[in-house]
Each structure stands twice: as C-alpha cells, then as structure tokens.
Amino acid sequence: MSALLSVRKLEAFYGVGQILHGLDFTVARGEQIALIGRNGMGKTTLLRALMGQVADRRGDITLNGKDITRSKVEHIARSGVALVPEGRGIFASLSVTENLVMAARPGLDGRSAWSLKRIFDLFPRLHQRRGNGGDQLSGGEQQMLSIGRALMTNPDLLLIDEATEGLAPLISREIWKTLDIIRAEGVASIVVDKDVRALSRIADRVVVLAKGKVVFDDRPAVLAQQPDILETHLGV
C-alpha cells in the first residue's frame, strides 16, 4: 500500500507546554490505525495537529504527497481529511438530515460514494430520526451522526477521537462494525479508543503514545506478544 499520510518529527505546543515530541509514522491508503495510550499522552493533540487545529506545530506532515504542516483547517479538510471529534460536535439546532447534507461534497477524485442514502443505510437509526434535532438524539445516535457527517465529505483519511466513549455495549458493537465497513471501503483511518481489544480486532496497525512520543508501532498480533508494553503504557 502506498503512503497517504506521512508524519516526520512532529512537535505540537499549547503555549509554552510541549505535548508532542518528534513523532514519526505513516498511514497507507485504506489502512486503519489504532491510536492508543493512557490519558494525557497526546492522542487528541495528534489528531488535532493533523487537522490543523493546533496553531503551534512543527515538523513535516505530508498528505497525498503535499506538505500540509502549516495548512489551515479548511485547506486540510478540502484535501481529504475528516475529523470525528471527542464530544461529537454536532449542530444541536439542525436536524439529522441537515447535519449530514451541510457536509456533503465529492471526494478529491470526484467520487461520491458516501451519499445521504448510503449513510442512512449504514445507520438505520439516523434514518428513523432524520427529522429530529441534534439535541434530541442519544449519545450513540450523536456519534453515528458525527461519523456519518464526516463520511459525507468522502474523505481519504478519517480521524476518530474516542470512538465509543460513554456508549452502551450494544451501540459500541455497532460502531465497531461500522469502522470495519469503512476500512473495507478503502477509507484510511486513525481511531482513538480505550477498548484496546476491540481496536486490535479491526486495526491493521497499532500506534502507542507515551508522553507525546511513539513507543510502539506494529501489527496488533505483535503487540499482543509484548505484555510489558501493554502493562507499562496501558495498564492492561
């Protein structure tokens, strides 16, 4: 698989505080990366930096062969990256359909594989509640809507922060199934979640962060054979 995203010596700062310390990793086209680590290790900051939401970022970020290190959020979004943020970020005053339609646009190659119908087929619950406002949905439905809205941009790379946090087990299983479908469709993704076992079942690679540095980057099967890493950096 050819590289879609390449990150070299990435540093990120909030004021005088440095959060990321020289990260190196790549994401191949269609590859699903599990991004894990304890709280406060830099996972959310990394996603925000890739999306252009961290003003002070240094190093090199290349997407589709183009340097986006200092690009603004809107340029990165138009370049094929979509973010499902922690907290979901849906518009409470808009209906489900309006939340989805406002984000709709073809991909970089003109494709529109992820249409309104496709999202409703993927998430029947959203179709049933298509006229409801964003603030009338359950937490699980809001997460489905946030993922669906991101897919409506027909991205090459999907960033998902805390995929199943606070969701009931039944809804969580539906989200994992959805991420497996997205992977099968060839959309690359970086997924953050605390459920290491569930992530390991669907991911091609696992990247472990500790204090803003990559301490492991390999296949899930390799991580499973190194319990010391799991214990030291994840406590599992």
Is the per-residue pLDDT at 236 higher than 70?
A: no
- Statement: residue 215 has pLDDT above 90: yes
| Average pLDDT over every residue of 184-205 | 94
Containing 33, the helix (H) or strand (E) segment is strand 32-36
CA 179 to chain CA centroid, Å, is 10
pLDDT of residue 218: 96
Contact 134, 145 (CB under 8 A): yes
Comma-separated ranges of CATH 3.40.50.300 domains in the chain: 3-80+156-234
Q: Reply yes or no on whether the pLDDT at 24 is more than 80.
A: yes
Q: What is the mean pLDDT of residues 185-209?
A: 94
Least confident of 16-25, 106-115, 151-160: 106-115
Predicted TM-score (pTM) of the model is: 0.95
Residue 136 token pair: 């009338």
CATH architecture of 3-80+156-234: 3-Layer(aba) Sandwich (3.40)
Does residue 88 carry a pLDDT above 90?
no
Query: Residue 37 pLDDT more than 60?
Result: yes
On whether the CB atoms of residues 71 and 49 are closer than 8 A, the answer is no
